[in-house]
């Protein structure tokens, strides 16, 4: 009998750039296949992709969807968003996340 547990994904690397009374700004760098790990946002946020890429978004219920992101095409999210973000592409990917206090 073989172990059916999938291998652990590499972890995305967060680099905190600003953390003050108005915003928290984090650069997220993803190797191919890397993930943020499941998390729930406590603040509204804006994401600015720094590359073109494909992300897999996994919800807390196990449901997943794939989204294409384009360099510089910002998008927003809300407090309470619960997910895991995975680089589903073959190239490194990065984005800047700006959380609004």
* pLDDT higher than 60, residue 1: no
Question: What gap in Å lies between CA 42 and CA 7, rounded to an integer?
Answer: 29
Candidates 71, 80, 75; CA nearest to 97 is 75
- Over residues 31-63, the pLDDT tens digits come to 999 999 999 999 999 999 999 999 999 999 999
The whole-number pLDDT of residue 14 equals: 98
Residue 101, CA distances (Å) to 7, 18, 52, 70 in order: 36, 12, 28, 26
- pLDDT band at residue 100, thresholds of 50, 70 and 90? very high
Average per-residue pLDDT for the chain: 95
Q: Which domains does the chain have, with CATH numbers?
A: 13-100 (2.60.120.10)
Radius of gyration of the chain (CA): 14
């Amino acid at each position: 009998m073989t172990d059916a547990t999938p291998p652990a994904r590499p972890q995305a690397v967060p680099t905190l750039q600003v953390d003050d009374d108005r915003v928290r700004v984090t650069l997220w760098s993803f190797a191919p296949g890397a993930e943020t790990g499941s998390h729930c946002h406590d603040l509204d946020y804006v994401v600015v992709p720094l590359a073109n890429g494909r992300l897999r978004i996994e919800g807390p219920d196990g449901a997943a969807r794939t989204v294409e992101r384009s360099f510089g095409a910002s998008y927003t999210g809300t407090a309470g968003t619960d997910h895991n973000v995975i680089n589903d592409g073959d190239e490194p990917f990065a984005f800047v996340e700006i959380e609004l206090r």
